[in-house]
Amino acid sequence: MIQTAKGTYDILPSDIHKWHYLESIIRKTCELYNYQEIRTPIFESTDLFIRGVGKSTDIVTKEMYTFKDKGNRSITLRPEGTACVVRSYVEHKLYADLNQLTKLYYMGPMFRYERMQKGRSRQFHQFGVEAIGSNDPSVDAEVIALSVNIFRQLGLKKVKVLINTLGDKESRKQYRQALIDHFKPVKEELCEDCQKRLEQNPLRILDCKVDKAHKAMKTAPMMSNYLNEDSKAFFKHVLEDLEQLGIEYEIDHSLVRGLDYYNHTVYEVITYVPGFGSQNALGGGGRYNGLVEEIGGPDVPGMGFAFGMDRLILALEAEEITIDTKDEVDVYIVSTSDKTEIYAFKLLELLRKNYIKSEKDYFNRKVKAQFKQADKLNAKFTIIIGEEELNNEQISIKNMKTQIQDVISIHNVEKEIKCRMEDYDE
Ligand code: AMP
């Protein structure tokens, strides 16, 4: 039997209502904040991610699904959304009016060749926003607020916002040097990746899971001691805005995030619901002044986030938040003989044209078995078509909740059903 490829999974009809619910809250909230949806291709030129995610990142060095197409082009299945959105922003010159904040959101599958575990797969789903064009710290606070509001609307309570600043270019440069000076003497004791990181992006040593317990980690210099005045003021402004908006946060000096292009604000939202497992980051984001230029656009700043939708579904389950399913049909048509069958099929289409969700039997079942099927599908009403009644231009309707059945004219079926549906839920 052929099964799903390693690292992928099917989202079955029995679970799809959770995804629809999540997607609808994401859409509604993003649009409330005046973000517009953008859909970019699933695959892009490999170069985009090398430039846009960063040569030294785990994503680029180890995790990309990269292949040559038949035209010998190097293609990569997108591992994340920001580089794609920024590519589109540059390609379509969405910056035409430079005094404008371009607010975009996306959702869809992403691909990373990672080690499998609970909450981590090779095809997963992210939603994210990108606010491109302004350097105002309030944009950072707004982006964070938007994500927190999505969590609130989903009903997730056991989540925490961790925030940090990486400062501007100048502060980062100073800090980078301090980290090199600090880790160089113990270079040989660090993992192979961190030895490389020391040359390429020493900040990311702080993120390393392998060297987490090394003594040099505990004594590593802190970014907060290397921030210049501008960077401090920027961060203060973001935090004050968050307080104004009633958003709780915790400053986490060790938070650096995996991607190369962040500066100033970085943040992450984690869940602390018991039993969630080690993959407890739901997502996060940060400011990426410099990325648009890196991808060939003008020097405009940006701020965004990305959250894992698969993990959000797991978090909903872990917090035992139930989502109603509308697993029911309005009408099930019971046909009593071959002669009533043609009319049953015609009626089915008429009901559907009138937005009444309807179903019938396709297996020549006996009447009793058709009623059983109606129950299985949680039908609100059954319509029973009998030969004699039909000759008199009549059919029967049965309310499956009250079990009350009455006879109506075949000329008013859709109106009768609509009327009864209004009363049904009262
Ligand atoms: P990142 O783009 O690495 O910052 O990831 C943002 C969020 O996407 C993470 O916090 C996860 O919720 C989710 N995510 C990233 N990689 C995976 C994966 N392999 N499987 C499931 N979710 C993931």
Reported as a single tens digit per residue, the pLDDT across 11-65 is: 999 999 999 999 999 999 999 999 999 999 999 999 999 999 988 888 999 999 9
Predicted pLDDT of residue 258: 61
Report CA(175)–ligand 1 centroid distance (Å). Answer: 27
Assess whether pLDDT exceeds 70 at residue 267. Answer: yes
Domains of the chain: 13-168+228-318 (3.30.930.10), 331-420 (3.40.50.800)
pTM of the model: 0.91
Which atom from ligand 1 is nearest to the alpha carbon of 80? 2
Q: Is 360 in the pocket of ligand 1 (CB under 6 A)?
A: no
Assess whether pLDDT exceeds 70 at residue 104. Answer: yes
According to DSSP, the residues that pair with 161 across neighbouring strands are 269
Predicted pLDDT of residue 161: 97
Report CA(122)–ligand 1 centroid distance (Å). Answer: 10
Which atom from ligand 1 is nearest to the alpha carbon of 79? 2
Query: 281-319 burial, b if ≥16 CB within 10 A, otherwise e?
Result: bbbbbbbbbbbbebbebeebbbbbbbbbbbbbbbbbebb
For 146-156, write each residue's pLDDT tens digit.
999 999 999 99
Predicted pLDDT of residue 96: 82
Q: What span, in angstroms and rounded, lies between the C-alpha atoms of 96 and 228?
A: 32
For 308-325, write each residue's pLDDT tens digit.
999 999 999 999 999 988
Assess whether pLDDT exceeds 70 at residue 259. Answer: no
Report CA(280)–ligand 1 centroid distance (Å). Answer: 10
Report CA(262)–ligand 1 centroid distance (Å). Answer: 16
Q: Over 225-279, what HEC string results? A: HHCCHHHHHHHHHHHHHHHHCCCCCEECCCCCCCCCCCEEEEEEEEECCCCCCCC
